[in-house]
Structure 1
Amino acid sequence: MRSSSPKFHRLVQHRELEEGDENGRPPQLISLARVDLDDGGTPSASFPPQSEPVGLHSTSKQIECDSGRELLDPKEAISCSETQVAASDGESRGRKYPGVVVSWMGQRVSWIVMLNRELNVSFVFGIMVIYGFGQGVGGALNKVVVDYYWKDVQLAQPSSVQLYRGMTTIPWEVKPLWGLMTDILPIGGYYRRPYFVITGLLSAVATLVLVMGGQLWVPFAVGMLMVLAACAAMSDATIDAEVATKSREKPSLAADVQSLCAISLSVGSLLGYSVSGLAVDKLGSQGALGLMLIPAVLLLVLGFVLHEERVVQKWHNTQLSKQLWIVTEELWITLKHPKVWRPTLYMYLALAVSPDISEGKFFWYTDVQSGPGFAKEFVGAIYATGSVGTLLAVYIYHKRLKKVSFRKLLFWIQFLVAVFGMLDFILVTRLNRQLGIPDHYFVIGDEGLTQAINRLKWMPLLILAAKLCPPGIEGTFFSLLMSVDNVDPDEDILEPRQREEAIQLVETQVQKENGLASSV
């Protein structure tokens, strides 16, 4: 690690020079290198620093000085650079706004390139596949298309749908089991790759059965959806193990890794929600399920391209039992630490005490008689707005909040959660109409703000969880921490009643309004 004591630097010309043209123009200096004099004169960083995206401002920051003279005075070099920057800025004043957009896009591309260089290309691709297409696109389709499948094909009621939803979350509740398998059970010498192949194949089969099976027997349809959920949970646990490993090996990039995960999820969700309503309208409630084949195929591809060292080792029952005991002991030792169990308890309580009436709101959204009767395309647009809010929250956290202390950040975010949690109450009691806010605008704003705040609440917890994972049991430990949002013993019993009560409240209020309107 480099010393934090002050260092003296000098700027020297970099040896990368443009070649002179045929008219005799002398070569020009492209960049400067900073040399730490107390490190033996070895270039340690470029000027500008490497933390800034390389090549984004090469035109505006090109330094044209005397190529035959060494710049020993840093002030002289900086002055020369500033002169060139000012000249270039004057030339580009007429195209300011396009330049800002190009610069912003270039920064994002340079950030991705940096992650590919530091973390491995296949790892970044895996995050985009699992979070972007698996949880993003697949999760959006599961939220919208599957709800329409239950409503239009199976003709189920909201309380029944919530019961089925609760059953399909069982694979997520046992997510630590999938993480344990990826940690101690290699297949063909690999701990990660085979599980992506297996989940991709099973997902494809289950999707085809749902699409081509017509009106399936309800328990069988629930079983196929549970298979899809199990595949999603297993692939998520597998990539989470890789995320935890990279975060532990390079803690300085832990926040960047979680930002990449969240951005991939947000962009994928935005894409999925944008096409889900249109897909239901054009392909039908059952045919639209076929879009879930896209994440399944990409999982298969990931299983073959992910970089992983093969382990040549023969497993026996005694060795497996010993490994299980070691993993259990390490988990217990880690969980007993206050820095682990306190954030975990907060994560559980923050989710357990927050009621969710999203399923009831979906049926209310699409109810023409008692609800606003939103079109299918607009229902997808509502959830797409939530993805935009999530994406904005990730950007704010990455740029402004990732250096703020967790305690201070979580306090204010939890305060905002409590305040904006009242938006659902305003919506179901129709107070927004009394305030002059149409349902369309209020629902869009509600979804965007709620999802943004929820993502801000999760970002520091995800980073902390990834850094705390002990080596060797990354998948098990990270899955255990992340599964607390599914372990709610009263969820499947209480939430259907809460949703029904919310719907009944809305229906009663609408009937009162209709009665008053007719009397007038």
Structure 2
Amino acid sequence: MEEKESYIRQSSLRSHSRLSFFTDGDPRWKHQLPANPGCLDYVLFPFRSFMAWLRLLADNYSPKFLVMLLLGEHLLKGFVGGGGGGGMLVSEKVMYRGRASLQTQQAYFSVTGLAWALKPLFSIITDGSAMFGYRRAPWIVITAALSTGAILMLLMLPLPPIALCIAFLIIKVNISCTDIILEGQWTEKLAAAPEYAPDLMSFVYMGMSLCSIFGVLVAGPGLDKFGENILWVCIPIPAMCALGALCGLTTEKRAEEPCGLQTECIYKYRHFFLCGVMAAVCVLGTAALNLLPVLGQELQFVLSMLLATLMCVSYMWLLPASIWKPCLYLFISNVLSLDYSSVTYSFYLDDAQGMQRQKCPDFCPHFQAWFFVTVIQIIDAGFALLGSWLFKRTMSGWTYRRVMGVSQVLVMVASASDAIQFSRVNKLLGIPDEVFLMGKSATISTCFMMNFMPMMILISQVCPEGVETLTFALMAGITNFGSAVSGLVSAHLMQYMGLENTDAMESWNFDNAWILALMGSFLPAISLCLLPFAIPDKRMTDPIRETAESEQTELLKGKAMDSA
């Protein structure tokens, strides 16, 4: 057995192929047709090639870990969470209807979205402490147990809106925590076998995308027929992830200290850990402020903005300039891209009880969930792939500054189509709502992915060696926090635009929704002024990690001198 494992490792190190189907490594890693193939050989060729690809991944990254990725990334994050914005949890968008105003709904959507901004906290906990000899697996089990309880509460108890928000927050915390843990694990594994990194990333994200599509295929018709009871389908998945972690599928090594803090690691990267703590305080504080009914809406908003400012200042003080500058740009850009999803769902989607037809019989499109959730999100996924291809085809040789500027303008122009449909101009032009929405979704998804790809490349490139996972979590955390703050700003604006639309109102008003959409489309133009300051003017193919690492060294020296 040891000889076989040694041969596999040596073969993988000798191979320099980026596509495993054509690798020169272990013959089991590729499938070839026999000398005289029959019809069955041709029919089974795709399946056998796929199995050979899985053997390559299993030999280099452990079959146990692949199963854990299937459970945690494909089923939990993909099917349940929709990759972070859909899947079965799209039911959250309709469960508040009739129980809270649109302003309150938007605030609660932002609070549950803060689970993704807590990634720095999860990274600190898992990297800086151990429990029963393991740093990561116990937290998958703990959050999975809490998530299962939250789903059961949603299904079995008549919860008020604030309790609904807390339950969905717990479910998303489970997904976010499991996601950052598995990201940390595969980062370590890719360092040991980097030549097959594209294969592993393809396995993760292709599987996640397919499961996300399957999730909306189930969620759309399920919401029409069963309402919120469709969430029963999600019950086994967190439990399966917990069972996988208990069975050792994360493949993590036992920590040297069975319990307690990993003090050496914390001290070595103390400014990154402190930044993560400050980020967690700001995120948790924002969540608490918007869940406490005792505070007035104006005071909640002001305090939330102060915490957002504190988070930005913490990044600027504690992190190297090559990291905090892009973080600041991504945060401001996301805040200015107003999130008004509560208005969107209330305007487009009718529920099983037909509440939209009662409150707004003539103005709204009255889409059913099978169309608005399933069909539209499948279009989003398909054209996101087109956006990825167009980015690679046309922009991969550009500088970060150029590609992020051009793609941001494309997103702004495409997003303005929301204002056209909210104002019903498309009806005046004779364009049916269904046709316009499909075209609008396809255009926005394509442009958004062209804007998203360079951001992810930049984040991965500036992470200093030795603290990649925490740095990635910090950058992703402030980006997601910006999206949540954007929702809070939108909720505040809804109050002044008459877009509250509660169940007690005889009719719903969307007269000013187009103004909110137009603001969300063109306010990000302000962030373009920061491009020369915040984004490096280097090609995406040029290395920039050395700059971040040298700045990290200087930062450590400076902090040491200050403490002396």
Moved more, 44-53 or 179-188: 44-53
Residue pair 2:338, 2:489 contacting (<8 A) in 1 also = no
Residue matched to 1:496: 491
Unaligned runs of 5+ in 1: 1-42, 65-87, 511-520
Q: After superposition, what is the alpha-carbon deviation per residue over 1:362-414, rounded to whole angstroms, capped at 9, x for unaligned?
A: 10012332310001211222223222333444566678876766455434422
Deviations 1:269-307 (A, max 9, x none): 21111111211223222x122222143133223312221
2:205 is matched with 262
**Contact 1:275-1:380 at 8 Å conserved across structures:** no
Native 8 Å contact 1:244 1:478 kept in 2: no
Q: Indicate the structure whose relative CO is greater, using CA pairs within 8 Å and at least 6 residues apart.
A: 2
Q: CA deviation at 1:136?
A: 2.2
Shift of residue 428 of structure 1?
A: 1.5
Residue 324 of structure 1 aligns with which residue?
266
**Post-superposition offset of 1:211:** 0.7
Query: Percentage identity across aligned positions?
Result: 21
Cα distance in 2, alignment partners of residues 57 and 398 from structure 1: 30
- Asked whether the equivalents of residues 185 and 250 of structure 2 are also in contact (C-alpha less than 8 Å), the reply is no
Q: Which residue of 1 aligns with 2:64?
A: 122
Distance (whole Å) between structure 1 residues aligned to residue 477 and residue 16 of structure 2: 43
The answer as to whether partners of 1:240 and 1:479 remain within 8 angstroms in 2 is: no
* Aligned partner (choices 371, 378, 381) of residue 378 of structure 1: 371
Change (3 A) 1:108 1:402: farther
For 1:5, the equivalent position in structure 2 comes to none
Higher normalized helix content (fraction of residues): 2
Task: Give the structure-1-normalised TM-score.
Answer: 0.70
The CA deviation at 1:228 is 1.4
Is the 8 Å Cα contact of residues 278 and 377 (structure 1) preserved in structure 2? yes
Q: Normalising by the residue count of structure 2, what TM-score does the alignment of the two structures yield?
A: 0.65
Q: Return the letter of the residue paired with 2:33.
A: S
Q: How far apart are residue 225 of structure 1 and its match?
A: 2.1
User: Does 2:453 correspond to 1:445?
Assistant: no
Residues 48 and 425 of structure 1: CA distance in aligned 2, closer, same or farther (over 3 Å): closer
Q: Whose radius of gyration is greater, 1 or 2?
A: 1
Amino acid at match of 1:356: D
SS in 2 for 1:308: coil
In the aligned structure 2, how far is the partner of 1:499 from the partner of 1:384? 29
Residue in structure 1 matched with residue 555 of structure 2 by the alignment? none
Deviates more, 1:46-55 or 1:253-262: 46-55
CA–CA separation in structure 1 for the residues paired with 2:477 and 2:513 = 38
Q: Quick one: which of 360, 366, 388 aligns to 2:382? A: 388
Offset of residue 417 of structure 1: 1.4
Change (3 A) 1:102 1:308: same
Match of 2:104? Answer: 160
Equivalent residue, structure 2, for 1:478: 472
Match of 1:359 in 2: 342
2:222 paired with 1:279: yes
1:47 and 1:172, CA in 2 relative to 1: closer, same or farther beyond 3 A? Answer: closer
Alignment counterpart, residue 52 of structure 1, candidates 1, 14, 22: 22
Unmatched 5+ residue regions in structure 2? 1-12, 24-28, 276-314, 350-355, 500-507, 515-564
Equivalent pair of 2:339/2:486 in contact (CA under 8 Å): no
Aligned residue identity for 2:444: T
For 1:2-32, what per-residue CA distance to the aligned partner results, in whole angstroms no more than 9, with x for missing partners?
A: xxxxxxxxxxxxxxxxxxxxxxxxxxxxxxx
The corresponding residue for 2:134 is 190
Deviation at 1:108, TM superposition (A): 6.1
Question: For this pair of structures, how many residues does the alignment match?
Answer: 429
Deviations 1:489-509 (A, max 9, x none): 843432125557496884479
After superposition, give the CA deviation of every residue in 1:326-362 in whole Å (9 maximum; x if it has no partner). Answer: 3323567997445433433333233222222222111
For the 8 Å contact 2:134–2:258, the answer to whether it is kept is no
Which region of structure 1 is more displaced relative to structure 2, 118-127 or 168-177? 118-127
Aligned to 1:244: 187
Contact 1:258/1:462, CA 8 A, preserved across alignment:
no
Q: 1: CA distance between counterparts of 2:119 and 2:16?
A: 45
CA change 1:108–1:496 in 2 (3 A) is farther
Aligned to 2:242: 300
